[in-house]
A = this chain, B = another copy of it.
């Protein structure tokens, strides 16, 4: 007969249910990580039953607390909690752990599973996301709350592992969190002293509390299996409103397993049937059936869920009153939360620019951003300490600080990776459209969060300036060569490299219209003449990703390019015309947008019968074969750049109109 064999507290019933579901789920899948869920079950139980405000019926209620499992490999902890709390995640889903098409993949994925706030697994990212969520909460609270109407008022909690805290991104994000005094961010550190390789003493001896004190955090240490101590610590952390908090919870990985607790073998593989039997016995659980959860747990968690639903009802009542008292703000808040843009947000963007005038696309971007910033109140962003270079700061935009969070500009510091991870957190929170800038070459520092933004489908915008050898003297360490193409490789990321000001305006429009994923803008340092759109194709054609910029009757060849090199292609077109060779020039600001067009359109731009094709881009050529075809010539830079005035580098590396002319002549011969 199925029954609990020990006299267990309500807390123990819930915590052990998590342990059992984790063990059995991993065993059934024959892969996964039981150790963390078992070790962190007490922390999570205290948090979820006594503190976390959520409503399983409406997992997207804007004022819910946010919970991030940064150590995503412990996904069964989260799935167990979601199941027990009554989210739309069934026991069947738990049993389908790590199977094709399930909503319980190996690591939590926010776009798949209701109640999963962010996709984690790559370590450190969740911590950064949590910082971003707490920043978003505070910014929204600052903007929308009014006396008596705290419509934005929630906490952000994260569970982080040793691995999360060893990763550099945790340094970047937590240092900024301390600087900004994010009092409603609470990190529970699952201090279990075990990593995959063995005891943390093999590689790690940080005094974590000392480290976080140095960042300006409030720190505590508790026994991670003492519910009272955990409860007290979380309460104290909540009471500390001017600093983020970290609670180091000393836990035992695989807690309850007689032979595997405190060993790295509990980390990432099934415990095995026999050890599960022994563990269940030890926990006071019946050996059979598997996935057994006592009825009391449903009752306990049902009450928690009901409380959460009630909190949402109260919030909705408050919000209704707020709508009466502050109708304009309420409208704006609603629009922001729903991710909509204000009417007319993109009016007259292209009319900002004067044909012929030379302007770096980073400068055009800055001008567009000024306009957008005036029209879109919840567009906020910043730069990783390259504000003046990236032109990311809208005119008159105040920066946010610990003392005044109403600013719309963020000085991220020299923290590209942290910035990327924070941008994801802000986007996940909702209510904000975000952007962040750095040099294109330093997109390498933030590839992991860019990838995750793409996987999650977050509408984050990256402003990557100084996008080629065109940055000149700073030299090869600062000159991107492979970055542009390597960003194009990331599924779901839209990369746009405008050729001049009007294409830049279109690029920003496309970026803001893209609600399904991130967009990377690639912008020049050097000046580029604004196209005369009366002579060339209209600017709106840039929305199609690739378009015939300048055509001729019956072109003998096609020149194609992106960004600054489009100007070289136009010059080559003129030179070729002088020789009696008529060629088409195609501007290719965005491969992703182009490939989203119907095949007929693409064929009209690049007709199959024109096989003489020459491309130019100030980056690696690998990839351009897609468009130049087997017979074409791709001109680019298959080496690192060099330190010199940029015109000389272009000349010396052969990125010239003459090179395009020669290539066309060669192909036509």
Q: Which residue of B lies closest to A169 (CB)?
A: B168
The answer to whether A210 has its CB under 8 Å from any CB of chain B is: yes
The answer to whether A381 has its CB under 8 Å from any CB of chain B is: no
Contact for A179 among B101, B205, B639, CB less than 8 A? B205
The answer to whether A106 has its CB under 8 Å from any CB of chain B is: yes
* A195-B414, A206-B215, A631-B630 as given contacts; A644 in contact with B475, CB under 8 Å: no
Interface string of A286-326 (1 = CB under 8 A from B): 00000000000000000000000000000000000000000
A162 touches B414 (CB 8 A): yes
Q: Which residue of B lies closest to A611 (CB)?
A: B630
The answer to whether A538 has its CB under 8 Å from any CB of chain B is: no
CA distance A178 to B163 in the complex (A): 17
The answer to whether A152 has its CB under 8 Å from any CB of chain B is: no
Interface string of A416-451 (1 = CB under 8 A from B): 011000000000000000000000011011011001
Question: In the complex, how many residues of chain A place their beta carbon closer than 8 angstroms to a beta carbon of chain B?
Answer: 109
CA distance A445 to B638 in the complex (A): 23
A455 touches B640 (CB 8 A): yes
* A197-B411, A203-B411, A622-B623 as given contacts; A98 in contact with B163, CB under 8 Å: no
The answer to whether A340 has its CB under 8 Å from any CB of chain B is: no
> Which of A7-15, A46-54, A476-484 forms part of the interface with chain B?
A476-484
- Looking at A100, A204, A213, A489, the one whose CB has the most chain B CB atoms below 10 A away is A489
CA distance A361 to B300 in the complex (A): 49
CB distance from A202 to the nearest CB of B (A): 4
The answer to whether A196 has its CB under 8 Å from any CB of chain B is: yes
CA distance A505 to B69 in the complex (A): 40
Contact for A170 among B121, B171, B622, B643, CB less than 8 A? B171
B414 touches A167 (CB 8 A): yes
CA distance A630 to B389 in the complex (A): 40
Residues of B within 8 A of A454 (CB): 640
The answer to whether A337 has its CB under 8 Å from any CB of chain B is: no
* A171-B168, A205-B179, A638-B491 as given contacts; A644 in contact with B99, CB under 8 Å: yes
Among A380-436, those with CB < 8 Å from B are 383, 385-389, 399, 401, 411-415, 417-418
B215 touches A643 (CB 8 A): no
Interface string of A630-669 (1 = CB under 8 A from B): 1100000011101111001100100000000000000000
The answer to whether A348 has its CB under 8 Å from any CB of chain B is: no
Interface string of A175-209 (1 = CB under 8 A from B): 11011000000000000000111100011111111
CA distance A31 to B472 in the complex (A): 10
The copy count of this chain in the complex is 2
A489 touches B478 (CB 8 A): no
A473 touches B31 (CB 8 A): yes
A100 touches B489 (CB 8 A): no
Among A446-497, those with CB < 8 Å from B are 447-448, 451-452, 454-455, 472-478, 481-482, 485-486, 488-492
CA distance A166 to B203 in the complex (A): 22
The answer to whether A224 has its CB under 8 Å from any CB of chain B is: no
Residues of B within 8 A of A176 (CB): 203
* A107-B643, A202-B399 as given contacts; A415 in contact with B197, CB under 8 Å: no
Residues of B within 8 A of A412 (CB): 203
Residues of B within 8 A of A374 (CB): none
CA distance A629 to B208 in the complex (A): 54
CB distance from A253 to the nearest CB of B (A): 14
CA distance A383 to B197 in the complex (A): 9
List 8 A-B pairs, Cβ < 8 Å: A31-B473, A202-B413, A203-B413, A207-B215, A210-B211, A447-B447, A485-B486, A486-B489
Besides A170-B171, A179-B206, A198-B411, 7 other A-B contacts (C-beta < 8 A): A100-B652, A166-B172, A178-B205, A207-B213, A207-B214, A208-B214, A625-B626
